[in-house]
Chains A and B, each alone.
Chain A
């Protein structure tokens, strides 16, 4: 007999008429009980009106995404005994960011809109479609694509992303993972166009690794964004964001190649221009920090090692 214990489940309920309110339920669970099972028992036995989504119960469909004790997670991939605190309690809420529909169900249409913007399907060569040719992926290509292909469209990364909340021009982590997946796929014919769709948005990511942390499939979208940024040298177009990013990153690369370190005053001047850099210097002066901005750190002595590591790319 598997040992059972009673757990307390606090759910933030929502409907249009009554707004948000927390309700508490008590159910018995054992060490094999998934949070989706807990929700099913509550719905069947205590609150038929409780609304939540759950379909596959095996982390494939992505429908049971929610906040469990404040953490963005899939309910089916979370065991009740791992979720409860030392008082045997667990809190459930709908994901952040999306419009609330009812209880644990958000409206994730905006997530799908983001995904469709990156044209999430393979555009194969005409000769492949007509059957004249066949194309195969190399093992290293498949390895590069594999991780970013695993997205189950659950929406957790977008719900937790700080850049998504502040910047409507940022496509969000999942769309970037999907977009890069096709950039890296040699069979796709839209590489240049895809880089064009993604490049400006990529530089709007703040690299905070939140998407990497919350993804239940270990897709690591932030890594896909970094890999997309690496195409900036071969991308012919530009925007305000890309222009600044190029200046900033080129100056850092030059600085490391020359001295092995980042020279901040030079970085300010080259990235922001004389006027804006002077403004920032004034703020630093008011804060008593200008003496640090003027200090000069020693260069790497064995700079030859750095130059050889940097090699043919600046």
Chain B
């Protein structure tokens, strides 16, 4: 199966390991990821703060590229990119004034928005198109006796009338995928609370506090490690772990992974092949998973 693939800026930057692991397991699952031609930054969470017209136009340009490639679905590993594209289409379809101004901007760039492309998270494709049973068939090294905190964050789930895949208060997609690897999924109260990444560009102390709340909550509920589904959560919860540890003067870290990295481990790949960070790789070796 072929699917149009929108990596997003972070997974082609500091969260590159999100892209590496996603590409790797897609290959294992015979899922051909066709990168969107000449894609641009969606501006999610930033440009919509400054100018809704520009934000919407940038997202519609990407979706048009997908249409030109002959696909009606675009998958992304980043919850913010997903949210951005879905919100843009929702606004365009429901706000006639905004639509008129967006059309004017697109016309200047010689783009006529065609519509008919749905943005989906890569994990939605895994669950709906690949199927949990099929994923289980590819598991070579079941991750037995390890408890994984299942974190969803905000942008994947909310607003649920726009995102539409599962309940915003009682989601289970990440749990289902974790269970497929043989690991024990752990739910915790802050599983759908914000990781604080959006505040890192304006109010970092509170952003770090939110990240620490998530990690502590997962840990206090018995998680050995935590998985999440977002390139920007990855920057906040994985890349920034040591900064959080120092900032709150703690003597612990919680090894954190992007969801496709965990699936990749169960498929038999090494932490190095999956681009996994040093803290998590060290922990995996200690526990005998690598």
Contact = CB atoms under 8 A, between A and B. Distances in A.
Interface of A: 69-71, 140, 143, 162-163, 166-167, 203-204, 206-210, 212-213, 220, 226-227, 229-230, 232, 241-242, 244-245, 248-249, 252-253, 255-256, 260-264, 271, 280, 283-284, 286-289, 292-293, 295, 297, 300-302, 304-306, 308-311, 313
B151 to A, nearest CB: 13
Given A283-B240, A297-B12, A309-B106, A166 B209 contact: yes
B31 to A, nearest CB: 22
Interface in B68-101: 83, 97
Interface stretch (B107-115, B129-137, B178-186): B107-115
4 pairs of A and B residues whose beta carbons are closest in the complex: A248-B201, A208-B194, A209-B158, A208-B154
Given A213-B158, A305-B110, A305-B111, 18 more contacts: A204-B203, A210-B193, A230-B49, A230-B52, A242-B202, A244-B201, A249-B46, A253-B50, A256-B58, A263-B13, A283-B240, A287-B239, A287-B279, A289-B14, A292-B16, A292-B17, A295-B16, A309-B111
Contacts of B238: 287
A213 B108 contact: no
Nearest to A72: B169
Given A71-B169, A256-B47, A209 B155 contact: yes
A287 B241 contact: yes
Contacts, number: 188
Interface of B: 9-10, 12-17, 38-41, 43, 45-52, 54, 57-58, 61, 83, 97, 105-106, 108-111, 154-155, 157-160, 168-170, 193-194, 196, 198-199, 201-204, 206-207, 209-210, 213, 238-243, 275, 277-279, 281
Contact of B202 (A208, A245, A260, A310): A245
Nearest to B169: A71
Contacts of B204: 244
Contact of B243 (A255, A264, A280): A280
A289 B240 CA distance: 10
Contact of A264 (B13, B46, B159, B198): B13
A105 B276 CA distance: 48
A71 B157 CA distance: 14
Interface centre among A69, A166, A212, A249 (most CB of B within 10 A): A166
A276 to B, nearest CB: 9
Contact of A204 (B155, B168, B206, B242): B206
Nearest to B43: A256
A284 B14 contact: yes
Given A166-B206, A209-B154, A249-B49, A309 B109 contact: yes
Nearest to B15: A292
A35 to B, nearest CB: 16
B13 A297 contact: yes
A297 B61 contact: no
Nearest to B209: A166
